[in-house]
Structure formats: structure tokens, C-alpha cells
Amino acid sequence: MSLQAPPRLPPARLRGCSARVGSGERPPGGAWGLAEPPAMTDDAVKLLLRRFYTLQGERVEAYRLFEEGHRAYLSSGPHYDFLRYRQLVHEITLAFSGISREILQLKEQLQVEHGRLELAQHLSRVQQKEKEKLELTAQLQLARQNAQDQPGVPAHQQEVQELKYKLIKTIEAISEILQDLKYDSEEAE
């Protein structure tokens, strides 16, 4: 059976991630692609929130590619193509790191520059739940491989089911936080 290459993140997905890692530098033109940061207005807050939702969409796409790549990796068993999968994990890690870094900047701007502590707290809660989701996703991928490698061990199947449940609950919690964010941001208008 030949192994298909796992999906690669489009270059735009990684744009600026490696340049920002550890440098503390902002992308040229600011995080919004503008020459200067927006004025401290409701429009500026809306712009920050719009950017946040765009980043959340990128994160969802990165998860999709991560899962797709893991399925390709599992299909290469029992002689797994670990090198290709490791490269995918590296690219996904860069993408998640860049997204998280930018969301933390947005949170800081909402809190410090705009005095929108409640909105900043929602972003912080999303970040915490996204971290939990990523950890659960990694655990689930390992559990799936264990279940595939040792199909006669019921504990592995049980672990997969438990992790799926925890992952679903975490995704539901993220959705609730996003709903709260939407409500609080609309309420302030």
C-alpha cells in the first residue's frame, strides 16, 4: 500500500509564523494589514474581533489538516511513515503557535488599549480551551494508533472512546465561549 503525502498547510497559513516565533516582532503593516493600528473606537474593537474570528477559522482548518494527515499516517501502518507525519506535526505546531501568539496580542489590545476586559477574558478562555483541545487531540491520535496496533486490547478502544468524549465536551465549551463573546460584543454596540 502506498502512502499518500499528508496534506500540507498552504503557505498563507504559515505566513509570518516562523518569523514571529520568539522574535516578538509584528508582521509588516501591523496585525491588521494596515499601516497604523486603528483608533481606540468601537470600530477598532470590531476589527480586533473580526481578526480573532479569522484566526479561529485558520485554527479550525489546521485541525482539519492535522486529522487528515493523521489518518494518512495510520493508513501507512504497520510500517508507519513517521518522518512525513513529523513534518506535518512541525508545520501544524508553527501554525498553532502563530495563531495563539496573535490572539494573545488581540487580547492584550482589547484589555489595555480599549478597556474591554470582558472580551479579553473570553479570548483568554478560548485560548485555554484550545490548548486543552490540542492536548486531547494528540492523546487521541496516540490512542488510535495503539488501538490499531493492538486491536485485541479492549482498553485501547475504551481510551479512544473516552478521549473522543472529552474532545467533544471541550469543543462544546469553546462554542459556548464563542457565543458569550458574540453576545457581549453585540451588547456593547
Query: What distance in Å separates the CA atoms of residue 8 and residue 90, rounded to the nearest whole number?
Result: 11
pLDDT at 24 over 50: no
88 close to 5: Cβ distance less than 8 angstroms: no
pLDDT at 189: 59
Q: Which helix (H) or strand (E) holds 134?
A: helix 117-149
Residue 172 exposure: Cα atoms within 13 Å on the Cβ side = 6
* 59 pLDDT higher than 80: yes
- Tell whether the model's pLDDT for residue 125 goes beyond 90: yes
Residue-wise pLDDT tens digits, 5-22: 444 444 444 443 333 333
Nearest to 93 by CA among 163, 14, 4: 14
Name the more confident of 6 and 126.
126
pLDDT at 37 (0 to 100): 42
pLDDT range class, residue 186, cuts 50, 70, 90? confident
Structure confidence at residue 69 as a pLDDT band (50, 70, 90): very high
Range in 15-19, 79-83, 137-141, 155-159 the model is least confident about? 15-19
Cα gap 20→18, rounded to integer Å:
5
In this prediction, residue 74 carries a pLDDT of: 94
Greater pLDDT, 15 or 79: 79
Query: Would the pLDDT of 128 be above 90?
Result: yes
Between CA 69 and CA 76, with CA 71 as vertex, the angle to 5 degrees is 95
Comparing 28-37, 82-91, 152-161, which segment has the lowest mean pLDDT? Answer: 28-37
Q: Is the pLDDT of residue 151 over 70?
A: yes
